[in-house]
Amino acid sequence: MNTVDKMITDAVQQEIVRAENLAAGYPGKTVWQGANFSFVRGEFVAIIGPNGAGKTLLMRLLLGLQQPVKGTIKLFNSQPKRGNPKIGYVPQRHLIDNDTNIECIELVRLAFSGTRWGFGLSSKSERKTAFEALEAVGAAELAYQPLSALSGGELQRIFLAEALVSNPEILLLDEPLSNLDIRRAKELVQLVNKVVRLRNVTALLVAHDINPLLPFLDKVVYIANGKAATGKPKDVLTSESLTALYGVNIEVMRDSRGNVAIIGIEDHHGDE
């Protein structure tokens, strides 16, 4: 292998996230524990599990909003911190809702500029950057539409552009499929996969249903019963693996299209 090839390989394999004996929760309450995993640059990872399992806690740890109850988690080989510009984040509940009349390009531009609304000396270049982010998610035609005119699927594209505008190295996407129909969910997953592959970005996507994601995933973190199983989908999504995770008999069924049905789980409500 020559020097250039080695540099490319090293960049591709750069470790972005590492957790060792990680436990997450709140004061006086551990929600899950014993998690060990690592993600490298350019991987598409699903964080899945039943409602109430604590999937969003992993996002909060990576964003520096909470500290581990036990163990360690590293992001770019350092402790996660608030306001890390290398992170692009799409929250489950966006601060700006679809009743807002702000144009899409202005919302994305604001994410890039940080504080300045309206037009200024730097706004031309910022709007160009924002438009390029909209183009990257196939939403250029929505640039001058108000958020209030958009469908749920279109809004998720805009929020993804907002997360991408600063050219992050990792994307954290918290339940972006939750209010989308099957077709729109599939389209959004395909879009995220395209971004991951073209930009060599690591993406962690929290979801309740694994099936729209399965054709594209590199790894899965399955959180349930206070524990986490991690690895490639073919290794985690098995009857043996999930029976060990839940502590009860679980059967994983697959249909002719590759969709997974997990039998034997009593679901819960109220995701953490």
Residue 3 has pLDDT above 70, yes or no: no
Distance of alpha carbon 128 from alpha carbon 188, whole angstroms: 24
Classify residue 137 as exposed, middle or buried by CB count within 10 Å of its CB (0-12, 13-18, 19+). buried
State phi, psi for 176 to the nearest 5 degrees: -70, -15
Distance of alpha carbon 257 from alpha carbon 136, whole angstroms: 29
The pair of structure tokens assigned to 4 is: 């250039």
pTM: 0.86
Distance of alpha carbon 60 from alpha carbon 64, whole angstroms: 6
Tens digits of residue pLDDT in 30-41: 999 999 999 999
Tens digits of residue pLDDT in 42-80: 999 999 998 889 999 999 999 999 999 999 999 999 999
What pLDDT is recorded for position 207?
Answer: 93
What pLDDT is recorded for position 116?
Answer: 44
Residue 22 three-state SS:
strand
- Angle among Cα 91, 221, 268 to the nearest 5 degrees reads 70
Strand residue runs (E) in the chain: 15-26, 29-40, 44-48, 70-75, 87-90, 170-174, 202-206, 219-224, 227-231, 251-254, 260-263
The pair of structure tokens assigned to 16 is: 């972005």
Tens digits of residue pLDDT in 80-93: 999 999 999 998 87
Which residues, listed in sequence order, are joined to residue 204 by a DSSP beta bridge?
Answer: 45, 172
Q: Hey, where are the domains in the chain?
A: 1-86+169-272, 94-167
Fold for the domain defined by 1-86+169-272: Rossmann fold (3.40.50)
C-beta atoms surrounding 225 within 10 Å? 17
Band (178; pLDDT cuts 50, 70, 90): confident
Residue 166 has pLDDT above 50, yes or no: yes
Return the closest-CA partner of residue 76 out of 66, 87, 65: 87
Among left, alpha and beta (phi > 0; psi -120 to 50; other), residue 103 is beta
- State the maximum Cα–Cα separation within the chain, in Å, rounded to a whole number: 63
Tens digits of residue pLDDT in 218-271: 999 999 999 999 999 999 999 999 999 998 999 999 887 888 888 876 543 344
Band (118; pLDDT cuts 50, 70, 90): very low
Q: How many CA atoms lie within 13 A of 6 on its CB side?
A: 3
If you count them, how many residues does the chain have?
Answer: 272
Which of 29-38, 149-158, 196-205 is the least confident region? Answer: 149-158
What pLDDT is recorded for position 269?
Answer: 38
- Angle among Cα 203, 205, 206 to the nearest 5 degrees reads 155
Average pLDDT over residues 176-192: 92
Strand residue runs (E) in 151-233: 170-174, 202-206, 219-224, 227-231
Return the closest-CA partner of residue 45 out of 193, 165, 225: 193
Which residues, listed in sequence order, are joined to residue 70 by a DSSP beta bridge?
Answer: 23
Average pLDDT, the chain: 87
pLDDT higher at 194 or 6: 194
Number of H-type helices and E-type strands within the chain: 8, 11
Distance of alpha carbon 38 from alpha carbon 192, whole angstroms: 20
